[in-house]
Chains A and B, each alone.
Chain A
Amino acid sequence: MRLLRIVPDDTKFDFMQFRRISFPISAILSILAIGLYFFHGLNFGIDFKGGLLLELQSKSETADLSKLRATLSGLEMGEVQLQQFGGPANVLVRIAEQPGGDTAQQAAVQKVRGALGDSYEYRRVEVVGPRVSSELLSYGVVGLGLAIIGILIYLWFRFEWQFALGAMIANVHDIVLTIGFMSITQIDFDLTSIAALLTILGYSLNDTVVIYDRIREMLRRYKKMPMAELLNGAVNQTLSRSVITHVTVTLALLALLLFGGQAIHSFAATMTFGVVLVGTYTSIFIAAPILIYLGVGRGGDALSKPESDKGKKA
């Protein structure tokens, strides 16, 4: 059987040369993403903004959106968003947080239930009060920070500080671009998005670590090779693995995106963007070449461990 070779065996693409294009592109994209965050904003979901979210299914064939809108606006509860999804009978209703604290949110649900009566089935009801939503937001932000710091410390122990710093820059780059994506698409930004961001972080680092591992190995083996050439070698040698792994993760994500349904759609979309598009690009075009500037040392630790150290185990 002839096996698939996605990346030819002796690929020698000059990735390091490409940094003169990739670094400016990344810088521009990052600035754009930050700009988007500040001027276009994120579409905060109920977790972080508080309020009501109801998934209704009309008991008749189709939901009468205009009538529903009229009924709900009649309750004078501020901003009400209706969105049809899934089928003609299904409507997603979002109602902004009601003034008056936690009890006001509960009162609002009662009002909606009273106004709609028996004509709809309540497939999902979520009510988040102001205190819970602000806590969830701070948990999310703190969590992202903690994860980055935790991973940094680990990398610092396992590698040298230059690697940890390079990985962190790559990390922040991933998160910034993904947040830009969430701003453009106006995907609901909620706890699931934080989960997506953390997973993107983990996977992107996974990739970066594989390349860094190879760089470290080559640093020990080829003591005189110019840095750019060495980094190029490491990226090229791991390229086949990077591509194949990304194909498998993409396949899994595509299945989630296409068949996972509404509930995890935004999660799958964010993950697909972050892991498939950004993550791979970052490890190859940012995380590896940036080591040139960070001045990875060949002295000290790296020198003291001779190559035979690895060879013995093999």
Chain B
Amino acid sequence: MLYFTRWKAAAIVLTALIVCLFAVPNFFPESTVKTWPKWAQRHLVLGLDLQGGAHILLEVDTAAVRKDYLANTLDDVRRVLRDARVGYTGLVVRGNSVEVRMRDDAGYNTALPKLRELSVPLGGLIGSSGQNNLTVTTEAGNLVRLTLGEPAVLDRVRKSVEQSIQIIEKRVNELGTVEPLIQRQGADRILVQVPGLQDTSRLKDILGTTAKLDFRMVDTNNSIEQAVQGRAPPESEVLYSSTEPRTPYLIEKRVVVPGGDLTDAQPGFDQRTTEPIVSFRFNTAGARKFAQATQENVGKPFAIVLDNKVISAPVIREPIIGGSGQISGSFTVQSANDLSILLRAGALPAPLTIIEERTVGPGLGADSIAKGQLSSYVGAALVIIFMFVTYGLFGLFANIAVAINVAMIFGILSLLNATLTLPGIAGIVLTVGIAVDSNVLIYERIREEVRAGRSPINAIDAGFARALATILDSNITTFIAAAVLFYIGTGPVRGFAVTLGIGIITTVFTAFTVTRLIVATWVRWRRPQTVPI
């Protein structure tokens, strides 16, 4: 147990040294580290609880996705029937299905194969599950029912999450924040973490807005008064202005130019009124549609609708053919700026709900760092003194091993670019407490072997041999607990699991190698006649 071949000893020293060296970048300012080679730049990341920042968990509104899907299906059915010139009555969404009743048998026979074409396999050609998005069933009385399958909704939710992540990235990056983290969580959730962010209300506004912008015509043929009382014509709907007082408008459901046709949006000021505005530019298709619509409707009002609220409803004075325009509508400088960010990034495919928010201000973070440091210094000092008082020289060996152990924890954490949280610091402090346990086990065993009458070198040898098996057994149980904690925990708690788990690995490593090597070297050097413990 006490004999190390030369290369083995070298390997141990080298491993410990390299792992420890990975901790070095943490002691230099970031600007210095940036100039180093890429592999040397790995460092610890402070958790949001230490550096301050916002953690926001968003969820895609599955109900809205389903509703949207059904509404689209309804539109498709209407289009198919119109193209086929089939008369129908009662086209409605009922529960999870779209139902339509054809006027006569001839129409039914023409329409059914066309409606069946709406049902397409999920997931395209690759990874096709063999399921279709819609199940088409028929009933007596020329009724056709298209039922939306749950896999289709889930598929749409999954795609919504992917698209939303890209859009959120664009939006958050435009806020000028440092290294935001945006990642998918589970099937329908997105985690957004923005370090250092103080005021979350703006971030939440930006994340919580769908930003679905449409250009539509104001319906001037029907009475707004009647529509408000619930008698809106089927092709129009009542929408309210985004500003107080809420003014009702009767807006055509047909979209003239969808927001997706916007290529750019910039905040600015109106040259005449100096009021903040958002100027925008359409792509070619959008420009053509907009030009045509404005040519046909000179003198009539059109509406700019954002998330079902009317931002403004100007009257078309002349055809707009250049493909660009501006939106004015009681903006402040900030809201004009935010709207242009939202428009540039594009609309979210489905609304997102904030289901969890945790924000830590920088003041509290700094306090936590200070307290974490203080408690770890005090804890380490107490343990070191106690070990020295209890075991003397061997206590000193143990303390050296613990110091290497902690340095290695930091090295591995840096190598993994792991996040250090306040509970994580607690994990390191506890590791210090528990790491010396391995030494205690070894030393107590040596004391016993000495009492049993073995010679010093024999006793030390036997002590190591017997204690190491125990150390392995006892640490694996704690490691299982840490692994479970890592799996179930989030944020700070996960940080604790990481340091605890890594601490156990380094503890076992140092006990098996570093401590043994130190003691072995000492034994070879001093050839002790008694064991000083």
Contacts and interface: CB of A to CB of B under 8 A. Distances in A.
Given A3-B389, A214-B470, A255-B375, 17 more contacts: A1-B392, A102-B355, A106-B354, A110-B201, A125-B357, A143-B485, A146-B488, A194-B493, A202-B477, A213-B474, A245-B437, A252-B429, A255-B379, A256-B426, A264-B423, A313-B1, A314-B462
A271 B423 CA distance: 12
Interface of A: 1, 3-4, 6, 9, 55, 57, 102-103, 106, 109-110, 113, 121-129, 131-132, 136, 139-140, 142-143, 146-147, 150-151, 154-155, 158, 191-192, 194-195, 198-199, 201-203, 205-207, 209-210, 213-214, 217, 237-238, 240-241, 244-245, 247-256, 258-261, 263-264, 267-268, 271, 310, 313-314
B382 A237 contact: no
A56 B353 CA distance: 25
A151 B353 CA distance: 39
B474 A210 contact: yes
Interface string B470-510: 10011111111111110111101100110010000000000
Contacts of A240: 444, 447
Contacts of B391: 3
Contacts of B367: 261
A64 to B, nearest CB: 20
B478 A57 contact: no
B371 interface: yes
A213 B469 contact: yes
B485 A195 contact: yes
Contact of B473 (A123, A126, A213, A254): A213
A42 B335 CA distance: 45
B338 interface: no
Contact of A261 (B354, B371, B387, B474): B371
A313 B376 CA distance: 38
Contacts of A4: 389-390
Contact of A264 (B426, B478, B487, B490): B426
B484 A248 contact: no
A123 B430 contact: no
B493 A206 contact: no
Contacts of B532: 3
Bin the interface of chain B by size.
Answer: 35 or more
B375 A191 contact: no
A57 B364 CA distance: 10
A106 B204 contact: yes
A260 B473 contact: no
Contacts of A248: 383, 386-387, 433-434, 436-437, 440
Contacts of B353: 102-103
Given A123-B360, A147-B480, A210-B474, A139 B488 contact: yes
Q: Identify the interface centre among B363, B387, B390, B481: most chain A CB within 10 Å of its CB.
A: B481
B365 to A, nearest CB: 9
B38 interface: no
B387 to A, nearest CB: 7
- Leading 3 A-B pairs by shortest Cβ distance: A252-B433, A255-B379, A202-B478
A132 B375 contact: no
Contact of A191 (B432, B461, B493): B493
Nearest to A252: B433
Given A1-B392, A154-B477, A244 B372 contact: no
Contact of A259 (B374, B440, B451, B488): B374
Interface in B386-439: 386-387, 389-392, 422-423, 426, 429-430, 432-434, 436-437
